[in-house]
Amino acid sequence: MSAELGPADVTLRGRFEREHERRYTHVPFEVPPGVRQIHLRYAYSDAIGHDPSLVGGNTVDLGLFDQRGTAPGSPGFRGWSGSDKTEITVDEAWATPPYRGGPLGAGTWHALLGPYKVGPRGCDWTVELWFHAGVVSPERRPTSASRPPPAFRSTARDGWLRGDLHCHSIYSDGDSEPPEMLGAAMQAGLEFLGVTDHNTVAHHAAYGSGGAPLPVVLPGIEVTTYGGHWNAHGTERWHEFREPDADSVGRAMRAAMDEGAFVTVNHPKPLGPEWRYGELPCHAIEVWNGPWLHLNAVSLAWWDDRLRRGERLVAVGGSDTHHLRRTDPTPRHAQAPGRPTTWLRAARDAASVLGALRGGSAFVSASPRGPQLYLDPEAGRPGRVRVEVRGAAGAALLLLSDEGCTAAAPIVADEWDAAFDVPARARYLRAEVVDGAGSVLALANPVWAEAV
């Protein structure tokens, strides 16, 4: 395609030095009247991948604002693709995902360039623009998903749903269309799916609302900044991501919460990417992201520390699935939805799922198959809790509070339950199911002392 475009209508050039790293630049260009399509291609020196473990070169992210401006929340935001795409097209009738098509107004537009990494030799960049390229909308892949969901063990209790709160499609750095991801979630046995592409909500229209036999779609966005990522579930707009300091990020998170979004700090662990902003206000912590052994113990410990100081934050999990097709012997993310699975006591609609998240009626397991772990005050027995475990024979139960581990017991049957006293001075009690090596198989949100 690039070889057939001919000379660019506009060519922009510049350079980033190390002091520009992780600071966005808005590069202006003029769009004349009558333009019906804009094609953009960019390149930069010493390019390397965005994986945080890769160093020594450059990674530059791309976004686009139209003539309506670059202010926070501006309707002029046309999209952000990170470093995943080097060429994009925005047409009156269509656009390269995750960008938005629609009327192309004359005036000053801005290419958004983000030097995520700047190597020791600096970073020279070029942006080329064609206003009448005539690029044809590419043929999209078939997206049917006809296989029925698997027949799993039913939940131990009526009214509980399985789901995944974190996934990606071609609207950010994933490899599948939204209907394919939704079909994969159905085939995994999930009943709700939180859809969280990076710095965009353009994927919402492609997912639709879902619903039986497909999972219910929980709309959302992964707000992707240069100091950490956070999810806003239940939102329909983009949220500010360009200023990577704690004050700016905190303002954006509070604004999302004030608008009714459920806000989660994502994967606060090394190579998560990690979270650099400290203890900003939020509703939840993603304590389990992808396979357990991928440093999730660090996230769990951070959540635990905040619980001990009285913060009532919900623990959730998400697979962070990006790729349904690629075979990678050492994937950074899960390669199937539901690993891990978040279980909620909710009706099968998005509003109820959001309500259950807010109430903390949730536990997280290694997969849609479980184990299931229910922790509740024991009816009629003040000061005691009851634990119910399904599908974990041979594992062990740990009960933990702000005073440490208060009890441990072997799980001797596939359907097992027991009651335990809450220590007199404990402010809360939470539960984990662990295997013989100490890896977590399931974890439940805390029961607070005043509810026991």
Q: What is the mean pLDDT of residues 18-45?
A: 98
Q: What is the mean pLDDT of residues 338-357?
A: 97
Which string of b and e fits 88-124 if b means at least 16 CB within 10 Å?
bbbbeebbbbbbbbeebeeeebbbbbbbbbbbeeebe
Confidence of residue 141 (pLDDT cuts 50, 70, 90): low
pLDDT tens-digit map of 123-138: 999 999 999 889 999 8
Q: How far apart are alpha carbons 354 and 360 in whole angstroms?
A: 10
Question: At 160, which amino acid appears?
Answer: W
pLDDT above 90 coverage of the chain, percent: 88
So what's the pLDDT on residue 334?
64
pLDDT tens-digit map of 390-419: 999 999 999 999 999 999 999 999 999 999
Q: How far is CA 409 from CA 331, 399, 413, in A?
A: 34, 9, 12
- Structure token digits, residue 22: 């992780």
Residues 6+ apart with CB under 8 A from 380: none
Tell me phi and psi for residue 316, to 5 degrees.
-130, 170
Residues 6+ apart with CB under 8 A from 112: 24, 25, 26, 27, 61, 62, 63, 64, 65, 70, 80, 242
> Do 102 and 92 meet the contact criterion of CB atoms below 8 Å apart?
yes
Q: What is the mean pLDDT of residues 440-445?
A: 98
- The count of C-alpha atoms lying within 13 angstroms of the C-alpha of 337, restricted to the half-sphere facing its C-beta, is 30
So what's the pLDDT on residue 1?
45
Q: How far apart are alpha carbons 334 and 167 in whole angstroms?
A: 9
- Asked if residue 98 has a cis previous peptide bond (ω within 30° of 0), the answer is yes
Q: What is the mean pLDDT of residues 336-348?
A: 96
Question: At 39, which amino acid appears?
Answer: H
pLDDT tens-digit map of 46-105: 999 998 889 999 999 999 999 999 999 999 999 999 999 999 999 999 999 999 999 999
Q: How far apart are alpha carbons 142 and 130 in whole angstroms?
A: 30
- Structure token digits, residue 159: 């009214």
Question: At 157, which amino acid appears?
Answer: R
- Structure token digits, residue 313: 């934050």
pLDDT tens-digit map of 158-207: 999 999 999 999 999 999 999 999 999 999 999 999 999 999 999 999 99
Residue in this structure with the two tokens 């995994």, named with its chain if needed: 188
- For the chain, domains (ranges, CATH) are 2-130 (2.60.120.380), 160-369 (3.20.20.140), 371-452 (2.60.40.10)
> Do 286 and 362 meet the contact criterion of CB atoms below 8 Å apart?
no
So what's the pLDDT on residue 247?
98
> Do 33 and 106 meet the contact criterion of CB atoms below 8 Å apart?
yes
Task: Please state the three-class secondary structure of 191-234 as a single string.
Answer: CEEEECCECCCCHHHHHCCECCCCCEEEEEEEEEEECEEEEEEC
Nearest 5°: CA angle at 204, between 198 and 207?
110
Confidence of residue 146 (pLDDT cuts 50, 70, 90): low
Q: What is the mean pLDDT of the chain?
A: 94
Q: How far apart are alpha carbons 210 and 201 in whole angstroms?
A: 16
